[in-house]
Each structure stands twice: as C-alpha cells, then as structure tokens.
Structure 1
Amino acid sequence: MRHRYFVRTQYGVIKIKSLSYSFDLPALHLWLNTHKKEIETRINFWIDGILPLRSALNMLLNLICKFNTFTSQKSYNRFYQGSVENADLIRIRLLINLSLYPQISGHKTRFAIRFLHEDSENGIVPDDFPFKLACC
C-alpha cells in the first residue's frame, strides 16, 4: 500500500513522534482507554441524535432523484462540460477500475467535470472514457 499517494501522505503525519504522547491529545488517549461498552454507548447516543436528520435527508434525496435517470456520456480530454436548467444535484457513475474521481465546478445552469486519478503523481487518466450522468 505504500505506493498509494494518500497512504504515503498519511504515513508522514503518523511518523510525527509527538502525536503519540498522551499530553498532546489527552482527550483522545482518555477515549482510547475507556471501556468498549462505554464507547459503544456514547457512539449510539450521538448517532441517535442525528438519525432523524439522516432520515429526512434520505427522503429528500430520494424525491429529488427518483424521476431522473442516468444517461451515458463521454469525457473528452479528461473533461466534460454540460448545461442544465432547474437542477440542484449532479450524480456521476464511473467504472471503479479506472480509479478516477470527479472534480465538479459550476454556476446556475452550466457545469464542468474534470476527472482526476486517485494517484495524482503516477496515475494515468484515459483521454476519453464513458461515464453515466444524472442531473436532478
């Protein structure tokens, strides 16, 4: 896993020796030394507080996206530009084996998608490739 850019950057942060001492992050060390049962109780309490929000967001997103289907699109030179009226959400489906992620920018009725490789130093992004797009 050391060849992955993300892992390498995180490994550099972990190597900082002072982060391993309890006086730097006392609350974290107290938390880590708490009994597992107490940790589970606290986490469940926090989650219970946000479950109504999660349910409302899921319902809203389902309503927004229910009537919009994915259409096949193609990137050109690792880029896609589109325009849309009355849309609040852009959804993208990519093939996982490409190891790409979208960088989206836009304003009102126009948007642009630039596709980047997860390994920004050594990854290769194909010039043209298909993907699916839904504007809700």
Structure 2
Amino acid sequence: MITYEYPLNERIRTLLRLEDLFDKALHFTLSEGAYEHHTALVSLFEILDVASRADLKVDLVQELERQRQILVSFRHNPDISEEALSGALYEIEQASAALLAMAGKIGQYLRENEWLMNIRSRAAIPGGVCEFDLPSYHFWLHRHPEARQADLQAWIGPMTPIRDGLAIVLRLLRASGRPENLVAHRGQFQMMMGGRSAQMLRIRVAQGESYVPEISANKYALNVRFVGAASVARTRQAESSVEFELTFCNL
C-alpha cells in the first residue's frame, strides 16, 4: 500500500515538511559519500528555513502538554495498560524538557557560522557550489567521511529536540483516526463533511494501482480525484473504479 497524507492546516503542513527534511538529513548523514553529505547539508539548510517561519518550539511544547494531560486522564483506566501509558508520558515529558532547554532562536548557532551561511547562499544558485566558487567547501567534501559525519552530527544535533517533538505529535495524529474502505467510481469520490473535523487526511492505495489522488477539502466537503501517475500513465482521470482507504486524523 502507498500512503498519501494531506494536511488541512499550515501547522500540520509545516510538521510534515520538517519530518521529511529531518529524515533525509539523517539518512544521508549516515552515508559516507561526499554527494550524500552535500545532500544532508542542503536538507539542514531547508530545515533552518522551514523551522524559522513560525514559533515552532512553543507550538510543539503546548501540543505535547495538551497530549500529556489527555493521557494523564486515562490513569487507572482498566482498559489502558499502565506500563504503556507511563512509557508514553515519560517520552512526552522528555521531549518537552528538551524543547524547553533549547535557548534562543531555532538554528541560531548555524546562522552565526559564516562558513555555513556562505555555502547556504551559494547552494541557492544552480551549480553555485562548484569547487571554483567554494574551494573551502570542496576541501571539506574531500575530508575523511568520519570527519564529515562528525561535523554534520554536530550541526544537526542541537535541533533533534524539534525532530523528537514533532515525531510524537505526528505519531499521535496518525493513530487518532479509524480507516474506512471506500471506492472512487470512475476515479471520483465526494463526501460531505457533515461537521466532521480533521487536521490531516490519509489515503492508502494498493501498490499496483497506477493512479494517484488529487485531494481538495474544506469544512463542507471532501473531493478526491484519482488521475494517472505522470511517470507511468497519462495524467487523466481514472475511468475504472479505484478502491482506497481513507482516514480522518485529528488531535
């Protein structure tokens, strides 16, 4: 199954973008190639851009506290495992404490690194990080992989509380809904919201389907149109029925 997630507000959209960027940065940091480490560094610059657009740290702390209070209300419930509940509360409390311990603006230590900021400005130009543009960066890319990995981990490490906090929030969000099995007849599906609220939609389609969902939603209605994936089929609406799984997610 392939899962497509559609955020319904800017807050969740920001968290999903950061999750994707952190995953890429950490994945390529673990590699040893110079190109992979360049990609990790570019992803770090993108994290810096996205994370600085809103008061992300305060928003995450407030959401984690709200979720902590909800979980505390489940204490002594015979249907809830005390061990699992205690583990979830501990994880939330640790993530909140780490976020509160972050001093100053997110990524300020990176902005104060003139060498990194020079690379960041050149990386925004197509082909702008060639060796004749940035010889010192060319030298860094030819250092031993372990030395580059140590630098990348030092640059990414102070922002891991952001990654850990948003990972908890998104995990709780994804687990909040109950999936429904539905059919889009001739590739088209419409549902009236009927007062139902959601912060994110999750659509799962069988791996073998060559159609992707185009989603539009507001507080009144949800529309899903399945069209051919451009790489494998013409981008037109499906003519046959498409089975899919829909989940409304809301914290």
TM (normalized to structure 1)? 0.66
Structure 1 residue 135 displacement after superposition? 0.6
- Of 118, 132, 135 in structure 1, the residue corresponding to residue 245 of structure 2 is 132
Q: How does 1:1-136 map to 2 (within 5 A)?
A: 19=127, 22-23=131-132, 29-84=138-193, 85-118=196-229, 120=230, 123=233, 125=238, 127-136=240-249
Distance (Å, rounded) in 2 between the aligned partners of 1:107 and 1:128: 24
Distance (Å, rounded) in 1 between the aligned partners of 2:239 and 2:136: 46
Q: Are residues 92 and 121 of structure 1, via their aligned partners in 2, closer, same or farther at CA, if it must alter by over 3 Å? A: closer
% of aligned pairs identical?
A: 25
SS of structure 1 residue aligned to 2:164: helix
For structure 2, list consecutive stretches of 5 or more residues without a partner in the other structure. 1-125
Structure 1 residue 52 displacement after superposition? 1.6
Distance (Å, rounded) in 2 between the aligned partners of 1:28 and 1:116: 43
Q: What's the CA shift string for 1:25-50, capped at 9, x where partnerless?
A: 76764553232112211322243233
Q: Are residues 35 and 75 of structure 1, via their aligned partners in 2, closer, same or farther at CA, if it must alter by over 3 Å? A: same
Distance (Å, rounded) in 1 between the aligned partners of 2:242 and 2:178: 20
Distance (Å, rounded) in 1 between the aligned partners of 2:163 and 2:211: 28
Distance (Å, rounded) in 2 between the aligned partners of 1:83 and 1:25: 55
Q: Which has the higher strand share?
A: 1
Q: Are residues 113 and 50 of structure 1, via their aligned partners in 2, closer, same or farther at CA, if it must alter by over 3 Å? A: farther
For structure 1, list consecutive stretches of 5 or more residues without a partner in the other structure. 1-17
Distance (Å, rounded) in 2 between the aligned partners of 1:70 and 1:36: 44
TM (normalized to structure 2)? 0.39
Number of equivalenced pairs? 118
